[in-house]
Structure 1
Amino acid sequence: MSENYVSSICGIGKLKSLQELHMFDLRDVSGYRIGELENMNELCKLGINRLENIKDAEEASSAKLCAKGRLTDLTLCWSNTDLRSTDLDENILDNLHPPKYLRNLSIKRCMGARSAIWMNNVNPIFNLEKIYLTDCLECETLPPFGQLPFLKSMTLSNMPKVKWIESKFNGNDKYHAFPLLEVLRIKKLEALEDLFEAGVAAEDGCLLPCFIELELFDCPKLKELPSHAQ
């Protein structure tokens, strides 16, 4: 059975033992709303598209993503970057709180200016290994991803208002930003001035200690890179 066919099933929430739902297209009709996901607690991989069809934060929370203890791979997508309520996108993302065992997270076309509340505290996303953010045109500041102890790969694409990657540094000399990060891909971050906020990169050897691969494209304001990333 094709992935597209599964996603088109009306009342898919009845398939409570389903383990993979690659892309569930939300619609503003019964049987296709995000509340269908409420009792699908066996999901290991989940993609949700057309999040603009969620009316409010309460409806978003009805998916109960945080209760899906087996979920390791999550993709959250809006279908376009049209002008819409920045606050609504932020509130929707706040209420799509994933479980703590999540490994891979992708967010596409969110028009919120800030990150989700659960992303600004390392504990709820402690186990993340891979992050992919793209077409988040209004995003201005990123969460403290550098504090994620298991993060190995990060891709940031088409986020024109982001000025630096890691902005929250705890000031501890023993702190290593991105302690396991191996791959960093940065594309079309036109406002990016530095990988780290002023003062963060002063601690030699504390940044990107496991760094292997850098892909950099269309970041005209970027001033410099850590010496081992050049």
Structure 2
Amino acid sequence: MAAARMGGALLSAYVQVAFCGLQALQSKFLTELPEEIRMLVNLRHLDISGTQLHEIPPQIARLENLQTLSGFVGKLCISKLQNIVDPCDASQANMKKKEQIEDQSLEWDSCTAQESQHLVLEHLQPSTNLNKLTIKFYGGTWFPNCLGDSSFANMVYLCIPSCHYCSLLPPVGQLHNLKELIIFDIIPVKTIGPEFYGCCSPSFQRFPS
């Protein structure tokens, strides 16, 4: 029995090592992805187009070498951003090119004053195809201007809660299709001025949707 258990353990270890060496994976019969997908550290291409997947496990974020994720299920949450030591590392996610993502959340575990978070947020700039964006517990003192850029023509929902050190809100008034804007628990903001609307022209229509 002991030999059998040892053999099973060795086989399991062998399978794990073999899967960790995978660089591409394709299947049309998937209904869910296991949490153990985080072990595929060398995976570069994951094709889930035509599958019955309804969600992606958060462990997918640990696949640092992943370059292609076709047929991506449209919601992505990137949490524990406080663990990013070098803000430039966030640029490797290349979020601007992830055009399949429609709903994205960027979250820190708690709000701590740290100016480097501004750079992290800049490097995680989402695709202009994005419909919904949530930024939670951001510790910077201002938001990158790109957040309210009119190129985000598909943005219909923006939620910015619990950003305790921001004194300026992003210029989201020029997001033409924005229908739902949720802002709360941003204590330093005392007044809202032209910077919030994104344009000072009297003829400019703010929040047209």
- The aligned residue for residue 141 of structure 2 is 113
Q: Does structure 1 conserve the Cα–Cα contact (< 8 Å) formed by 2:149 and 2:172?
A: no
- The aligned residue for residue 17 of structure 2 is none
Q: Greater strand percent: which structure?
A: 1
Report deviation, 1:23: 4.1
Residues 1:172 and 2:207 are matched in the alignment = no
**How many residues matched?**
170
Write out per-residue CA displacement over residues 84-103 of structure 1, whole angstroms, 9 at most, x where no aligned residue: 5x221111110001111100
- The aligned residue for residue 192 of structure 1 is none
Q: Where in structure 2 are the equivalents of 1:113-132 lying within 5 Å?
A: 113-123=141-151, 125-132=152-159
Q: Does structure 2 conserve the Cα–Cα contact (< 8 Å) formed by 1:143 and 1:166?
A: no
- Whichever residue aligns with residue 155 of structure 1, its letter is I
- Whichever residue aligns with residue 194 of structure 2, its letter is S
Output the TM-score relative to the length of structure 1: 0.63
Q: Structure 1 residues 8 and 161, CA, compared in 2 at 3 Å: closer, same or farther?
A: farther
Q: Does structure 1 conserve the Cα–Cα contact (< 8 Å) formed by 2:95 and 2:126?
A: yes
Q: Structure 1 residues 78 and 137, CA, compared in 2 at 3 Å: closer, same or farther?
A: same
Q: In 1, Cα distance between the equivalents of 2:36 and 2:103? A: 17
Q: Greater helix percent: which structure?
A: 2
Name segments (4+ residues, structure 1) moved above 6 Å. Answer: none
Q: Does structure 1 conserve the Cα–Cα contact (< 8 Å) formed by 2:194 and 2:200?
A: no
Q: Does structure 1 conserve the Cα–Cα contact (< 8 Å) formed by 2:149 and 2:174?
A: no
Secondary structure of the residue aligned to 1:16 is strand
Residues 1:68 and 2:109 are matched in the alignment = no
Report deviation, 1:166: 5.4
Report deviation, 1:171: 3.4
Secondary structure of the residue aligned to 2:39 is coil
**Higher CA-based Rg:** 2
Structure 1: segments with no counterpart, 5+ residues: 27-31, 181-230
Q: Structure 1 residues 48 and 93, CA, compared in 2 at 3 Å: closer, same or farther?
A: same
Q: In 1, Cα distance between the equivalents of 2:102 and 2:148? A: 19
Q: In 2, Cα distance between the equivalents of 1:172 and 1:109? A: 32
Q: Structure 1 residues 41 and 114, CA, compared in 2 at 3 Å: closer, same or farther?
A: farther
Output the TM-score relative to the length of structure 2: 0.69
Of 157, 171, 179, which aligns to 1:152?
Answer: 179
Q: Does structure 2 conserve the Cα–Cα contact (< 8 Å) formed by 1:109 and 1:136?
A: yes
- The aligned residue for residue 3 of structure 2 is none
Secondary structure of the residue aligned to 2:104 is strand
Write out per-residue CA displacement over residues 26-67 of structure 1, whole angstroms, 9 at most, x where no aligned residue: 6xxxxx26x355433543211111011112122100111111
Q: Structure 1 residues 71 and 166, CA, compared in 2 at 3 Å: closer, same or farther?
A: farther
Q: Does structure 2 conserve the Cα–Cα contact (< 8 Å) formed by 1:94 and 1:116?
A: yes
